[in-house]
A and B are shown apart, each in its own frame.
Chain A
């Protein structure tokens, strides 16, 4: 199926002259009249800019700009692949460049919510297709041959008689042509690049240690800084004595602002040393909370009569009164640190009339706006250049560490790079909120699920439920509500926010309900989905058939229910527009459970890059598994007790089982994969452990629970 896309006024093309004298075209994706793309970082002859995503130079270098921050989700490879596909470019000749923040040229220039691919899919295709159209048009004029007789392939416009032009040879003339009112997009069946395995465009730089990340940014004359923040949430500075620190070698200044004491110097080690001798006294400025307080609080909140109702279908009280069996269970998850391998850092230079920000952020525009607001200047005065991000996991959605660097630069009146130590990151950052859930299920005498209740209580979690997720829509009587406790402990989105734990609790609970109903866990879910299809209750926000398809695929690939000597656990979850079902396999070895393998079936629509997609699923599973097994941050008197990788345990090489990845091939427009594979893992693993050992896990991290005492959990890759 070929798609014709109209070029709207919004996507109006601008024509202008480049600084080098060559013709330039700029494709505006937003309403404003954009400035032409800055091509200063493109090598070679004056390139012709076809739009914000693409330029072609007369010497045949195809440069594709990737606007969204790259933190390991592989967007810097997959986005350009889509442009190159519609352009029919030779991928080997494509040069990918990370674009700086440009709100006029790009919409949604951020990384979060696994939303970039669904947002940009058509935009990227149009960017490539429009340029291709213009190149063909230019060749048609030169050869005096109708456009319909010409084809393209591998970076050439081809004449039926065998003549051909490289795109570079046509770039200047093509760029001068009027922009087509509409362009034809390829039939997905014609895709040559999309759907193949394309290696990461930064591989060579990464394996040879080239400077790519924020922390790798150095500039002549730049100072280094580290900031001492309050070690306990709910405290503020009482006094600072920096006399000794100021006299240490390499120290330029010690600056106190807000609740921060910044140690500024000439090298990282010198400021790390001086920091140890800064004496800061703190006093209470709010409530001081500990994990033990939260544990008590959770139990109170779960029993509170009032809560914020998120979804209500039917008459849940009547259903529970008439039930033959009622199952009631609670699940709890701890705070987690995001702990990206590259600690927080940012370079800032506040000058008289502009601000330069360079570093790793998932939300460059938020960083820009927050900086402008802090300094009381127009956002247009602030530029943000993106480095590669050494992980993000949601931590770099926040602008705190950028604004802080800008504020310090203003105070010291010079360029500065602020670096966080690992301890700073774990103690003063933001956390995945701690949450406790209570699930209740009512079954009738035939094992039918007739009532369902869920309450989520969290610490700065907002709505700790996802009220429209399965099994909502399949249960006639349902009540989902939540209560949030406001705490001085700062929380934030953590990869697959809320669902990173909710999915485990829900999928483990449904396993128990299925067993109580004397049904196979997979069959139980398929029956509920069929019920939702035949007799939907309220709004249904997931696609029933797509959910069923991933369930069936993973059941088939894992040989669900057919394996002897292996205990299998099942889980399925829909999040961020994609569907993932998983089966975990546990074998008892000398009475101890060994996690051998996890199978995953994912539906993210069209798979753009087989290599990147498979890697996202595997990585999501490893991440979900590691945090379910080991991750927790506890607080004592407002301070995080885990401060580095010696006691904040991350999953390691020898703790990973085999993972087998499958995708549903349905040709639907693609959705994201940065998050969706993570949520189902905890549930699949807990359900398999139960099957193998009879031990039900209700709380994370699994390895620290009472149920796992004396149990040696093994893994085998």
Chain B
């Protein structure tokens, strides 16, 4: 173990702002001692030496804060004493203020869904295995559950599973279905969209972000069928792009919908002629969707003999990139004013 006296003496020096404490022979002697220890003791000792060093650093920072403190000010006043009138606080030109383009887009999308009769609930940023996987019919051992794609915490929940940074807004489905279940009892549908920030554990490049925005939607009622799903999404997209569009579905696979589809729309930028945005295909693949899997409805206590529903999810970032021709997805989280002020 570290000599307590020695450690305390070092801390005292750091408290007084003695910068040499960090480079002192005493501290160095502890690192030297580390090398002489038997292998099994080394890890624990090394850790405590590092902890001591960090503590010294933070004590020194505290001491510096005190030593180099600016004089206190009267924080209850509206401006500083003796500030000339023309140097008093003044807001910046409103013309240069800007709302983030992703948030502007999200507000527009929400507006359309509100008008279509959907309510909205924002997604969480830290969640558990049940909401992220279990309630969504991801079997134990499913590839998405392992940690190759999903951020997980060191800390564990009550089931001794790590918390999860959601990789999709579907993580809210169970909660939203349960919360809005009383609608069904009143004879009204469950109709909700769920925007939120989601995370994928991948390396960054111009087209890949580990942090991005999705919008999920759920609709449950008696007699809901696949045709309703296609019509609802088509209606939304036509409103969003302000024009008539063609849509088509490709069969797909998601654990939480059955059947599942990829949803394509005729390219709104070239009207199917082929352009850079749709890679000359004339079609854009925009969403994943499907009929909510009965196990997902069951998990929310909804009777699948009576009720069926559809769900979909899609990215917001891509909509904005296509709309403005943004070439690099990393700009969204760069906080660069040269990027942001273009959306003023």
Do A and B interact with each other, yes or no? Answer: no
User: Which residues does A use to contact B, with CB under 8 Å?
Assistant: none
